[in-house]
Amino acid sequence: MGSPMNERVSTVPSPAPWSVRTKREARQAAIKSWLEGMVYLCPSLLLFGVFLFYPLGRTMYLSVFHTDYQGHPTEFVGLAHFVALLQDASFWHSLKATVLFAALTVPTTVAVSFGLALLAHETRKGIGIFRTIFASTMGMSVGVASVIWMFMYNPAIGIINRLVSAIGGTPVSWLLDQDTALYAVAAATIWMNIGLTFLLLLAGLQNIDPSLYESARIAGMSYWRQLWTVTVPLLSPTLFFVTTVSLIQALQTFGQIDFLTKGGPVEATNVFVYAIYREAFVNYQFGSASAQALVLFLIIAIVTFLQFRFAERKVHYQ
Amino acid sequence: MKIARATAHYVLLCLCSVVILFPVAYALLMSLMDGAAILSGRLWPEKGTLVNYEAAFQQAPLGRYLWNSFFVAFMITVGRLIVSSLAAFAFVFLRFPGRDRWFYVCIATMLVPWEATVIPNFLTIQALGWTNHYAGLIVPFWAMAFGIFLLRQQFKQIPHELYEAAQLSGMGNFRFFCRVVLPLSKTSLVTLAVYSFLDAWNMYLWPLLVTNDDRVRTVQIGLKQLQTQEIASSWGVVMAAAVIAMLPTLLLLFAGQKQLRKGLMQGAIQ
Amino acid sequence: MAFLELVEVTKSYGGKKSAVENVNVAIESGEFFVLVGPSGCGKSTILRLIAGLEPLTSGYVLIDGQVANDWPPHARRLSMVFQNYALYPHLTVEQNMRIVLQAQKVPKEEQVKRCMEAAELLGLTDVLHRKPRELSGGQRQRVALGRAIVAQTPLCLMDEPLSNLDAKLRAKMRSELRRLQRQLGMTVIYVTHDQTEAMTMADRMMILHDGRPQQIGSPLDVYNSPDNTFVASFIGTPPMNLAEAHVLNHSLLLQNERPIRLLRRSLPKAERVIVGLRPEHIEPAESGEESMAVKVSHVEWLGNETLVTFELAKNLYWTARWNGQWRIRLGEVVPLTFDEQDFLFFDASGKRIGAPSIKREEVWVHQ
């Protein structure tokens, strides 16, 4: 029925197949597309090159030299800086302070933010106001937060000591006492970091399918059991992300330290980055400071690796 | 039973809010009290006064600091948006040899902590003569791997058919980028802008290093200056300065909160 | 005493128009009861009210004769299969099934025993150790079902459990579900928007529209004696043919155009009615038998039957369903015949003329 389709009637020759195209044309096209791509990438790559890769290499270079006060390398010393570091009591002290600081701030921030996120997750009238309040510390920049907490910690007229006196305790010089300084800075840091951590965890909570909770309610699970069985496992990717980022941030703390304690008293708060800053820009020992910077890089890399290796196994991805 | 639960919930919420807001509220209250009132240990101003705010602007070029912070943060944000979106566009829509390799290079930069680069960067800026100059505060931060990553995720969600249709109709790549990709990615761009601005506003070590002149000093360092000058004498003035300095970021946070939350939700599952 | 009863159940959200209104039904033990209706008609809301996931605005839920309005979900001893299955992604199939029992503090050996039995019943024994993301849609659906089975609760609620499966799998699962339900003796309340599912699976069904129940009855009751035009057109594929008509002496004038003489049927007393006739009741006429002749506008051959769409009046198309494969061309004029007794009449508001109104059963409410 009907004529066959595709019956050829014309005598015009069909166009030549692709393979006949000249190699030259193909190569030109490839170069053209590569150039175009590079134009878009150029700004990023150039900036990364100048301000990231080159400096990274230069830091490694400087770390094996003595340098003058202008930062020019003078004498090759090999691993002398690194060896000196390992033998320096100050270095170990600094390491201890950094680790303690991280141990104080990271779990507390995550735990408190998680609690706040749980509170702010339920839909109630006016919950939006509370969510805004809990997120507000994200808008507190380091200078603002530091200066406020500095005032609060003021031994004479700060509110904290006033409250302590009011309940009958003895006032403490929070930032000047070697035993309390690190804890005081940690408290301020926790407050600063709650805002963003809260927002991230709240976003994670709201991504959990509500029917999982309903199924749990029907099965008769109590609130705490639901928390443990449903919420925590399903929030684990976000918890992991938040903890990792917080930890890396904690190891890099500088602003509050410089503001509140300047590494003191007696190096109680001389966390790593502050030590690097002092060595490079106060003592002008660029070579040794570079070595310290590399050690910090190494520590962060190891910590992140360990996190991924061990903690990530417990994360339940969907 | 339900009412008991709701009340307990609200009570907890209020308690937590009080604790979280306390430092800010305290600063605000102190800023409205004159020096004598503060020293006397009052918590609540007997009569509010703006004398601290006047002094804050007089004792230090607070206005200048704020402008510097704003200008620097704004320029960094704009620069980052442009640089990151161009790179993300290339990674998603353009095909060229080595494309994926370059992407991994960019991602690798996220692993490098900036302390490992700060010393040579300072020396570079010094050599370029960009110390005490806006350029030194702005340019190094334009390339942002996180920004490239975030925008790449967003661009990938744009249907490839749109790009193919554009190509068929003869639309050039750059035009497609400006007319189609950017408008469709508003949420991510706003999220990145808000986050970037807050991040830039918050910078401390770098401005401390490359500026020692009030002309270009940012408000973070400015606050530090003000505090060392006013120590033990006019905390009210310092608090007033702090309140003023927190307003821009708080406003930005309120304005961008919805977008930020949406953007974070998309990116939170990394 | 009925197993589950709803008495004048109403639910509204914040003063707006109610999501469901005046729902009354008594469900017997062992029944497969279906709530069916188009999207947004309130059927899922009713299910959630029965489950206790949301509070009623007014009315009563009675379980075994007791007022259960304030009982939390767990106290109602029911299990639920969700549309998206609600499987815990971080637990294996076995853990997903056992978690319900763990919450009820069932002893461990009993947990394992029930789990194994359910797995065997559902063909899941090979995948017990897998996580949900490694399973196909059909397998996930069976795991959700397995969770309901191991709970061994007297009542099982299902919220469109098959809607995420492809058509073939859906047809297969329909009969499997029904078989399981009979085997285990569960009382099931099943929600669907698919009237075919309702017709094939239900012992009785409730058709809902805009939050209001339209009719309750067995599938054939609802099919043969719809209470109103909504039910008439919702149940049955292809849907019942409807037309507005004037009633004259011994004839109807459909849509002001098409007259139909009715000699052997008493006509309703109203002046204007809506007339309904099912597609399978319109048959091809032998010569001499014809009641009317129509022009064919569209034909569909399904292999076992032919659907013929014709223009009854201006812009009014009816469909006839004929058994077998008929050679019809578009535009052809064909003679049709029908049995006058198959006509259904509805008044202008859509209510069936001659149908009993929704029975209101007397209920004693035990406090």
Write down the domain spans for chain C: 4-231, 238-346
Report yes or no on B199 lying in a domain: yes
Within a domain: B217: yes
Residues of chain B with Cβ-Cβ distance to A199 below 8 Å are 260-261, 264
* CATH code, residues C4-231: 3.40.50.300
pLDDT of residue A3: 45
Whether C25 shows a pLDDT value over 80: the answer reads: yes
Domain C238-346 = CATH 2.60.120.380 = no
Q: A218, C88: Cβ pair inside 8 Å?
A: no
pLDDT of residue A27: 81
Average confidence (pLDDT) over A101-127: 92
Cα separations (Å) of C187 from C2, C3, C182, C202, C208?
12, 9, 9, 11, 20
- Looking at residue B269, what is its pLDDT? 45
Which region among B94-98, C175-179, C260-264, C350-354 has the lowest average model confidence (pLDDT)? C260-264
Quote the pLDDT of residue A21.
Answer: 60
Interatomic CA distance for residues C264 and C327, integer angstroms: 32
Cβ contact, residue pair B84, A44, below 8 Å: yes
Residues C307-325 have a mean pLDDT of 91
Q: Do B113 and A152 touch (CB under 8 A)?
A: no
For C114-136, how does the pLDDT look when each residue is reduced to its tens digit (9 = 90+)?
999 999 888 899 999 999 989 99
Portion 96-155 of B in contact with A at CB < 8 A: 96-99, 102, 105-106, 109, 111-124, 126, 139-140, 142-143, 145, 148
Q: Which residues of A fall within a CB distance of 8 Å from B27?
A: 148, 151
> What local confidence, expressed as pLDDT, does residue C362 receive?
38
Q: A residues 24-63 near B, CB within 8 Å?
A: 30, 33-34, 36-38, 40-41, 43-45, 47-48, 50-56, 58-59, 62
The pLDDT tens digits for A265-317 are 888 888 889 999 988 888 888 888 889 999 999 998 898 888 888 877 777 76
The answer, for A222 touching chain B at a CB cutoff of 8 Å, is no
Query: Is the link from the previous residue into C238 a cis peptide, with omega within 30 of 0?
Result: yes
Instruction: State whether residue A221 sits within 8 Å of chain C by CB.
Output: yes
Which residues of chain B register pLDDT less than 70?
Answer: 1, 230-233, 264-270
The mean pLDDT of chain A is 86
Name the residue among B82, B96, B238 with its Cβ closest to that of A147.
B238
How confident is the model over A228-247, as a mean pLDDT? 90
Q: How many domains does chain B have?
A: 1
Give pLDDT, residue C318. 93
What CATH number did the domain enclosing B215 receive?
1.10.3720.10
- pLDDT-derived band of residue C360, with 50, 70 and 90 as boundaries? very low
CA of B173 vs chain A CAs: smallest distance (Å): 9
- pLDDT tier for residue A19 given thresholds of 50, 70 and 90: low
Q: Per mean pLDDT, which range of B255-259, C39-43, C293-297 is the poorest?
A: B255-259
* A123 at C interface, C-beta within 8 A: no
From the list C72, C79, C86, the residue facing A212 with the nearest CB is: C86
The answer on pLDDT for C264 being more than 90 is: no
pLDDT in the model for residue C358:
45
What pLDDT digit, counting tens, does each position of C212-237 carry? 999 999 999 999 999 999 999 999 98
In this predicted structure, the answer to whether residue C156 has a pLDDT above a threshold of 90 is yes
Domain range for B237: 60-268
pLDDT at C356 over 70: no
Mutate to test the interface with C, among A218, A235, A313 (most CBs of C within 10 A): A218
Q: In terms of C-beta distances under 8 Å and separation of at least 24 residues, what long-range contacts does B208-213 make, across chains too?
A: B208/A258, B209/A281, B209/B118, B209/B122, B210/B122, B210/B125, B210/B130, B210/B131, B210/B132, B210/B136, B210/B137, B211/B131, B211/B132, B211/B136, B211/B137, B212/B132, B213/B132
Q: Give the mean pLDDT of chain C.
A: 88
Question: Which residues neighbour B52 within 8 Å (Cβ) at sequence distance 6 or greater?
Answer: B31, B32, B33, B34, B234, B236, B237, B239, B240
pLDDT at residue C282 tops 70: yes
- Record: contact C74-A217, CB cut-off 8 A: yes
Query: DSSP labels for C135-150?
Result: S-HHHHHHHHHHHHHH
- Interface probe with B: pick from A137, A141, A298, most Cβ of B within 10 Å: A141
pLDDT: is C291 or B200 the higher one?
A: B200
pTM (2 d.p.): 0.81
pLDDT for res B270: 42
| pLDDT at residue C191 in the model | 96
**pLDDT (tens digit per residue) in A147-198:** 999 989 988 878 888 888 888 888 888 888 888 889 999 999 999 999 999 9
**For C90, which of A218, A225, A316 is closest by C-beta distance?**
A316
Name the range with the highest mean pLDDT among A258-267, B113-122, C13-22, C26-35: C26-35
Q: Does A209 touch chain C (CB under 8 A)?
A: yes
pLDDT in the model for residue B265: 66
